Amino acid sequence: MKNLFDLTGKTAVAVGGNGVLGSAMANGLADQGAQVAIVGRNLETAEKVAQEIVERGGVAKAFQADVVSKESLENVAKEIEAWSGGWDILLNAPGTNSPTPFFDIPEEEWDHIMDVNLKGIVLTTQVFAKRMIEQKRTGSIINISSVSSTTPLSKVFTYSVSKAGINSMTQFLAREFAPHGIRVNAIIPGFFPAEQNRKILSEDRIASIMGHTPMNRFGEPEELGGTVVWLASDRASSFVTGALIRVDGGFGSMTI
């Protein structure tokens, strides 16, 4: 069973791997033997994550790219290919949020959130999946969605819409890429407090979240590691594609 999750010899591209959740998942992939390209808009934070992986005995390198620029993504893909020869795993984990009420959402904010959370993943997948197909590499694409994608949460309208788009994209591309041996799945995390969502976590909101989470606690970023490794492994999850996997402490199963 241990060998089912061995990623030795695999290369993972972790886009948004410099974030709180992205870095935890990148570390999980590295712990199982994958070499990981940490891609972030902020090179300094990407380098910090890469260094952490190296210090833990893994192999990683930081790269800089803007997910809303296809040119930037194509350039970084060339850099990663020169470093690794190619990739087998694509982790799409960029994200941004805002608590602006619906009627007050400025057009620029809508565009920014949709660009980063949805357009960015579309562009990233276009660039990296196309190269996988050209190289005839089978593998796994893992998108990061949200509990708000299926049960829209108050105060995060644009974010919820963008993440619902990720679910649709995941299932669409699972069908499109299956003939190429590329699986496409999404993880739906519950509440893992990070900088982007702390601003909307008032005491009342925390109480509401706990009341709707059977496990009665927030998730720890490292708790996403097992799921991402499972989805990345072409042995452990070889017949899994188009799936939306909840890691939410039971939030999605709660009813009144």
Which amino acids are annotated catalytic?
Answer: 159
Q: Distance (Å, rounded) from C-alpha 9 to C-alpha 26? A: 15
Q: Smallest Cα–Cα separation from 212: which of 146, 144, 147? A: 147
What is the number of other CB atoms lying within 10 angstroms of the CB of residue 84?
18
Cβ density class 121-134: b for 16+ within 10 Å, e for less: bbbbbebbbebbee
Collapsing DSSP to helix, strand or coil, 42 comes out as coil
AA letter at 219: G
- Asked if residues 35 and 59 have their Cβ atoms less than 8 Å apart, the reply is yes
Q: Smallest Cα–Cα separation from 220: which of 36, 53, 25? A: 25
